[in-house]
Amino acid sequence: MLFHIAEVADWQRAREAGDYRVSTRGRTLAEEGFIHASRRDQILGVAEAFYADAGPLLLLHIDPARLTAPVRDDEVAPGVVFPHVYGPLNLDAVVAVTPLPRAADGTFRLPDELRDDPDA
């Protein structure tokens, strides 16, 4: 499973348009050349680094087997690899959409269904 952090308005536009074309916050697929994605263990780091001051966010759960665009693991820094989707994200590849919650201190936390221990 791959994940993409989306702003609510961007996801709404995608549902109306029929596909998703936002690469990352404030950047389109056309500008960036791919859509940024994460693996489960990368979600919180990305959220804190790029979305700390953002409003409500959604986490798109992407089944890579359903993607119509190629997905590739790219090394973004020495030893740091992230998945990238090289084309529009077809909506039927998004198998779930969940809010990306924040803890009481404002930091992000994984949705309960992605946590090893939901009570942690």
Question: Does residue 79 lie in a domain region?
Answer: yes
- CATH number for the domain that contains residue 15: 3.20.170.20
pLDDT of 46 reads 96
Is 117 domain-assigned? no
Q: What does the pLDDT read at residue 113? A: 87
Instruction: Encode pLDDT of 74-110 as tens digits.
Output: 999 999 999 999 999 999 999 999 999 999 999 999 9
Residue 119 has pLDDT above 50, yes or no: no
Reply yes or no on whether the pLDDT at 118 is more than 90. no
Domain hosting 58: range is 2-108
What pLDDT was estimated at residue 68? 98
Q: What pLDDT is attached to residue 5?
A: 98
Within a domain: 99: yes
pLDDT in tens, 12-48: 999 999 999 999 999 999 999 999 999 999 999 999 9
Q: Is 12 contained in some domain?
A: yes
**Over residues 65-81, mean pLDDT:** 96
Q: Is residue 81 part of a domain?
A: yes
How many domains does one find in the chain?
Answer: 1
Backbone phi and psi for residue 87, each to the nearest 5 degrees, phi listed first:
160, 180
* Residue 120 counted as domain residue: no
Residue 114 forms part of a structural domain: no
Q: Is residue 64 part of a domain?
A: yes
Q: What is the structure's pLDDT at 115?
A: 82
> Given a cut of 50, is residue 120 above it in pLDDT?
no
